[in-house]
Amino acid sequence: MTATATPSHSALSELAEASFAALDVREHIQPWHFGPVGAGLGSIPVRTPITGELIGSLGADHFGALVDYGAAIEAAHRVFPQWRDVPAPARGHVVRRLGELLKEHKDALGRLVTLEAGKIAAEALGEVQEMIDVCEFAVGLSRQLYGKTIASERPGHALRESWHPLGVVGVISAFNFPVAVWAWNTALALVCGDTVVWKPSELTPLTAVACHGLLRKALADTGHDPEAHQLILGKREAGEALVDDPRVALVSATGSTRMGREVGPRVAARFGRSLLELGGNNAVIVAPSADLDLALRGIVFAAAGTAGQRCTTLRRLIVHESVVDELLPRLVAAYQGLRVGNPLEEGVLVGPLIHQGAYEGMAAALEQAQAEGGKVLVGGERVGEGDSYYVSPAVVRMPAQTGVVANETFAPILYVLAYADLDEAIALNNAVPQGLSSAIFTNDVREAERFVSAAGSDCGIANVNIGTSGAEIGGAFGGEKETGGGRESGSDSWKAYMRRSTATVNYSTELPLAQGVSFG
Ligand code: UN1
């Protein structure tokens, strides 16, 4: 593992300002402003994990805008009836325009993602591409919000289901996918006829303001009220405003299981809906017949990519005992070749952890793993010093699936376990509280099909011969158990953003009752 030099602070603030200016959204972000630190603009700090320093600040025209979350929800609620009545294909035009703006500004927005979340450029651009993809999906969807017609048991009656807009959708998103997860929710919610209030992670407010500006520009360009999208910046209180407000019909929240444990019951207590995408503890099984070259590449991207900070990150490697001794030295060598450092620099594959807390979480997990009999084969060290937290991704051989292995530590630690037969491997895959993503590397069709069958992986995502991360937007995304059960993005996930209405229309002159009931 090699480290690269960290850039100077002022260079990064200049880059942030230039990238933000290139988006050309200044007039669409009121009441927000972005400017250099110390320009007296406001109170929301913009930091970069690249150096850990402030690279600017966000402020508002009036203090109220910073704290009046209720006013933002009220505005989204007020605009909803008018947005609901726009025909769905015309709502799709707004999302198409958003997709165009994202294509035009892909580089600048990607750079902001790198600056605020610390992702390497290739992954940041991939994240913006994921937004563009979901916009394209949503535009098509805007002409395919299909209901069902059902054969009525009564003569002269028509029975059908329609899908109607739900209302205000609250989106709570996490730092690690600061823009794509918002786009999944917002592109779908908009074509479904909902208005949106977004509470981004407090760690990534600048990318949020940038996306807010791009969407409001898309709304204005297509002749619609920009108030259909609202942004609330803040910490826990901002999320709580969405969770507790009965005007918010659906709360779609991405984050830790701990967060979801609070959000789910609170939203349910007011009979609101929630869509939860929470922690993952994803495993790859490497079977005796696996193509080890393929497996190695898949494993390294899934485990060390994004510095281990994806909900889909590979955290557990379950290797057949006949190949473990061949695979592990190759894995260790691949890890030794990973370049850790400034994510803006070409050739770097692993950027920084988001903050000190993430580093401390990783150090504590490694300590616990060793106390539970684990052996660190490579990595796990802090690279560099100061206010930024770079680490070398770690591989830890574990004697068994012990306590620490059952936890999601949001950092690049890969625990390795050996197995003797497939039943055991599948049992290990399923024996954690989380259920997001999983994969098997095998060239045996029986094993592959078994893994993706009902008796196989219990996760929302079960892959064959690819890693656990990097899902396409076309499938439904989400997981079971402590991952929260929600499904976002492709397939028929849109149904979560609409309400279903069943209509029975009697076009006869009689009034037959269902179930043959005669009354009087
Ligand atoms: C997340 O980490 O919250 O499948 C989302 C993936 C990405 C999305 C990750 N498409 O890794």
Q: What is the CATH number of the domain that holds 214?
A: 3.40.605.10
Atom of ligand 1 nearest to the CA of 311: 2
Residue 42 has pLDDT above 70, yes or no: no
Helix, strand, coil % in the chain, rounded to nearest 5 = 40, 20, 35
Same domain, 314 and 449: yes
Q: How far apart are CA 374 and CA 221, in angstroms?
A: 57
The pLDDT value recorded for residue 133 is 98
Same domain, 356 and 470: yes
Atom of ligand 1 nearest to the CA of 280: 2
Of the residues 129, 177, 259, 278, which should be mutated to test ligand 1's pocket, given the most ligand atoms within 8 Å of the CB? 177
Residue 17 lies in a domain: no
Tell me: the pLDDT tens digits for 171-182? 999 999 999 999
Rounded average pLDDT over 5-19: 83
Between the CA of 317 and the centroid of ligand 1 the distance, in Å, is 19
Q: How far apart are CA 47 and CA 119, in angstroms?
A: 14
The pLDDT value recorded for residue 60 is 84
Q: Which residue has the tokens 């999983």?
A: 438
End residue of a domain, out of 12, 41, 66? 66
Q: How far apart are CA 445 and CA 39, in angstroms?
A: 62
**Percent of the chain residues past pLDDT 90, beyond the cut:** 93
The pLDDT value recorded for residue 434 is 98
In sequence order, the β-bridge partners of residue 274 are 251
Between the CA of 469 and the centroid of ligand 1 the distance, in Å, is 6
CB-CB contact of 270 with 288 (8 Å) = no
In sequence order, the β-bridge partners of residue 282 are 314
Provide the domain limits for residue 435.
282-477
Between the CA of 280 and the centroid of ligand 1 the distance, in Å, is 10
Beta carbon of 242 within 6 Å of any ligand 1 atom: no
Question: Residue with the nearest Cα to atom 7 of ligand 1?
Answer: 470
Between the CA of 449 and the centroid of ligand 1 the distance, in Å, is 24
Residue 368 has pLDDT above 70, yes or no: yes
Beta carbon of 311 within 6 Å of any ligand 1 atom: yes
The pLDDT value recorded for residue 35 is 87
The pLDDT value recorded for residue 520 is 84
Rounded average pLDDT over 488-516: 97
Same domain, 35 and 160: no
Residue 87 lies in a domain: yes
Between the CA of 145 and the centroid of ligand 1 the distance, in Å, is 25
Tell me: the pLDDT tens digits for 312-344? 999 999 999 999 999 999 999 999 999 999 999
Rounded average pLDDT over 88-109: 98
- Plot region of 316 (φ>0 → left; ψ -120 to 50 → alpha; else → beta): beta
Atom of ligand 1 nearest to the CA of 472: 10
Average pLDDT, the chain: 96
Same domain, 250 and 293: no
Tell me: the pLDDT tens digits for 209-227? 999 999 999 999 999 999 9
User: pTM of the full predicted structure?
Assistant: 0.96
Question: For the domain that residue 352 is a member of, what is the CATH number?
Answer: 3.40.309.10
Same domain, 245 and 311: no
Same domain, 219 and 348: no
The pLDDT value recorded for residue 6 is 59
Between the CA of 311 and the centroid of ligand 1 the distance, in Å, is 6
Rounded average pLDDT over 81-87: 98
Question: Residue with the nearest Cα to atom 6 of ligand 1?
Answer: 470
Beta carbon of 183 within 6 Å of any ligand 1 atom: no
Q: How far apart are CA 185 and CA 194, in angstroms?
A: 11
Beta carbon of 471 within 6 Å of any ligand 1 atom: yes
Same domain, 211 and 336: no
The pLDDT value recorded for residue 315 is 98
The pLDDT value recorded for residue 3 is 54
The pLDDT value recorded for residue 124 is 98
Beta carbon of 139 within 6 Å of any ligand 1 atom: no
Which of 59-68, 95-104, 258-267, 324-333 shows the lowest mean pLDDT across its residues?
59-68
Atom of ligand 1 nearest to the CA of 176: 2
Residue 289 lies in a domain: yes
Beta carbon of 254 within 6 Å of any ligand 1 atom: yes
The pLDDT value recorded for residue 46 is 95
Residue 8 lies in a domain: no
Beta carbon of 195 within 6 Å of any ligand 1 atom: no
Q: How far apart are CA 415 and CA 136, in angstroms?
A: 38
pLDDT band at 297 (very low <50, low <70, confident <90, very high): very high
Between the CA of 472 and the centroid of ligand 1 the distance, in Å, is 9
Between the CA of 300 and the centroid of ligand 1 the distance, in Å, is 16
Cis peptide preceding 45, ω within 30 of 0: no
Same domain, 286 and 316: yes
Beta carbon of 181 within 6 Å of any ligand 1 atom: yes
Rounded average pLDDT over 115-120: 98
Residue 453 has pLDDT above 60, yes or no: yes
Write out the DSSP string of 54-121: EEEEEEESSTHHHH-HHHHHHHHHHHHHHHHTS-HHHHHHHHHHHHHHHHHTHHHHHHHHHHHH---H
pLDDT band at 293 (very low <50, low <70, confident <90, very high): very high
Same domain, 296 and 375: yes
Between the CA of 298 and the centroid of ligand 1 the distance, in Å, is 15
Q: Extract the tokens encoding 378.
A: 């490579």
Neighbours of 392 (CB within 10 A): 20
Beta carbon of 469 within 6 Å of any ligand 1 atom: yes
Rounded average pLDDT over 300-312: 98
Of the residues 282, 477, 489, 493, which should be mutated to test ligand 1's pocket, given the most ligand atoms within 8 Å of the CB? 477
Residue 39 has pLDDT above 70, yes or no: no
Question: Is 277 designated active site?
Answer: yes
The pLDDT value recorded for residue 491 is 97
Same domain, 292 and 312: yes
**CA-based nearest residue to 497, from 123, 135, 145:** 145
Rounded average pLDDT over 280-292: 98
Residue 349 lies in a domain: yes
Residue 11 lies in a domain: no
Rounded average pLDDT over 415-427: 98
Same domain, 125 and 248: yes
Residue 7 has pLDDT above 90, yes or no: no
Atom of ligand 1 nearest to the CA of 471: 4
Residue 23 lies in a domain: no
The pLDDT value recorded for residue 326 is 98
Same domain, 99 and 58: no
pLDDT band at 62 (very low <50, low <70, confident <90, very high): confident
Tell me: the pLDDT tens digits for 369-409? 999 999 999 999 999 999 999 999 999 999 999 999 999 99
The pLDDT value recorded for residue 31 is 87
Rounded average pLDDT over 103-122: 98
What's the structural domain count of the chain?
Answer: 3
Beta carbon of 410 within 6 Å of any ligand 1 atom: no
Question: Residue with the nearest Cα to atom 3 of ligand 1?
Answer: 311
Catalytic residue, candidates 123, 277, 482, 488: 277
Residue 9 lies in a domain: no
